[in-house]
Amino acid sequence: MASPISTFEVTPLRYRVLAAPFFVSSLLLGQAPQGEAVDLAALQAAVKASQSAGDNAWMLVSSALVLMMTGPGLALFYCGLVRKKNVLGTMMQSFAMMAVITLLWFLCGYSLVFGEGNPLIGDLRYAFLRGVGGDPNPAYAPTIPHLTFMIYQLMFAIITPALIAGAFAERMRFGAMMVFSTLWMFLVYFPVAHMIWGAGGFLNAYAGGRYPVFDFAGGTVVHITSGFSALVTALYIGKRAGYPHETMMPHNLVLSFIGACLLWVGWFGFNAGSALAASALASSAFVATHLASAAGAVSWMVAERIRSGRASALGAISGAVAGLATVTQGAGFVQPASAVLIGLIAGAMCHYMVAVVKERLRYDDSLDAFGVHGVGGLTGCLLTGLFATKAVNSALKLSTGAPAPLGLVDGNAAQVTNQLIGGGIGIAFAVVGTFAALKITSLITPLRMDEREESAGMDLTLHGEEGYNFEA
């Protein structure tokens, strides 16, 4: 049996501190008790169980936070921006995704993303959640139950198609959205998520992908795909009746303000939770997320002040969301100063897209899903290639075992090209897949409401109820 000193020297640091009293007592007694090895093994097992419990608790909380981003966060944010005759219909779009995408994920979605499969799509080994239980899946998250990892990833799948709804707000039929969103998940989300996050994926940086793309929490998987899909959808369906000649002001910015604040809070689960552990990396991503959101809000307000002479509440919350969307890709790779710079760029650039480019081109992206999530996601993808550093994330190793250089700041200029390739593939899947999903949907059911129905509003036309009944 090894001596207390030799055993102590090879024990990891977190065990050394806890085990020190046992070794000190052994040395003072001048002997190594026979049960010492058993005690050390038990101690290590207890520490491991404690770590797993802490990681699991954090990941369950993160899962709840990300779900909160869709309902009530996104539902409130979007519903306040539409006219009051469409408030319930808009909220229903987010809520329906919470139900429909959950069932798709259970049936085969989780398996198509995280089953090994091939470089483009996963297999069906986890269909109906077969084999997804309390034991960890070491390929993805070795310290939390496989079920926890599955449910956490579900929340990303839920919010992504819900984001697209901002582009066709106030004019797509509810049934058409259900069909379109289902098709879109198979044609766009499942393959792109597998390529970047799935074992053996074509773009997976940590599993031998052909073009390793750093996407910590969904800058490409969520924001680029939803944002560019939103643009395609807005162009395909066409403008709202009366746009842009009629004024279509948000009916309740208070609701949008509350929704934006819920999104900001929920985003900590989105980004920091993507560390998949209650770790220092989670702390780093948490800080980067907060800094970028604050910088995005300030940047948008300054740009708005320069352009129009005043900073609006809508601009402030839009800037915060822009900062969040843009830092998502690099949250677990960049240092605090880089996160601030990312947020400042995001606020100014997304404001320009929404206030200038959209006005000039006259496309009707109703709630600026493309201007914020598409443009912000692509910007964040490229900036991650610049600012990702091994000083923050050392998980990627060289053959020598040393941390690999990540982005341009580490001297790895090739990563910028990889990010461009990853972003380009995400855009290609979004554009082609969305067009196909819209075309198929239009063959099954009418896509948009007619002018009379649009005039009456989604609430009464599609759902037979009103969001506000003041007479009651």
CB 462 within 8 A of CB 89: yes
Does residue 147 fall inside a structural domain? yes
Task: Let me know if residue 12 belongs to a domain.
Answer: no
Residue 40 placed within a domain: no
pLDDT score of 322 more than 80: yes
pLDDT for 175: 97
* pLDDT exceeds 60 at position 420: yes
pLDDT digits (tens, 9 = 90+) for 23-53: 434 434 444 445 555 577 777 777 777 788 9
State the CATH number of the domain containing residue 107.
1.10.3430.10
Identify whether 376 is part of a domain: yes
Q: Which spans in 388-450 are helix H?
A: 414-444
Average pLDDT over residues 339-356: 98
Question: What is the structure's pLDDT at 180?
Answer: 98
In this model, does residue 144 exceed pLDDT 60? yes
The total domain count for the chain is 1
Per the listing, tokens 């609701």 go with: 255
Per residue in 225-260, pLDDT (tens digit) is: 999 999 999 999 999 999 999 989 999 999 999 999
Backbone angles phi, psi at 268, to 5 degrees: -65, -35
Q: Could you tell me the pTM of the whole model?
A: 0.90
In a domain, 31, yes or no: no
The answer to whether the beta carbons of residues 365 and 167 sit under 8 Å apart is yes
Please compute the mean of the pLDDT values over residues 454-470 and round it to a whole number: 93
Is the model's pLDDT at 21 over the cut of 50? no
Predicted confidence (pLDDT) per residue in 353-379, tens digit: 999 999 999 999 999 999 999 999 999
State yes or no: pLDDT of 173 exceeds 70: yes
| Domain encompassing residue 141 | 62-463
**What is the residue type of 405?**
P
Q: How far apart are CA 195 and CA 199, in angstroms?
A: 8
Q: Is residue 208 part of a domain?
A: yes
User: Which residue type does 292 have?
Assistant: A
Q: What pLDDT does residue 472 have?
A: 56
- Asked, for residue 403, whether it belongs to a domain, the answer is yes
Mean pLDDT of the chain: 91
* 387 pLDDT more than 90: yes
d(CA 305, CA 311): 5
**45: in domain:** no
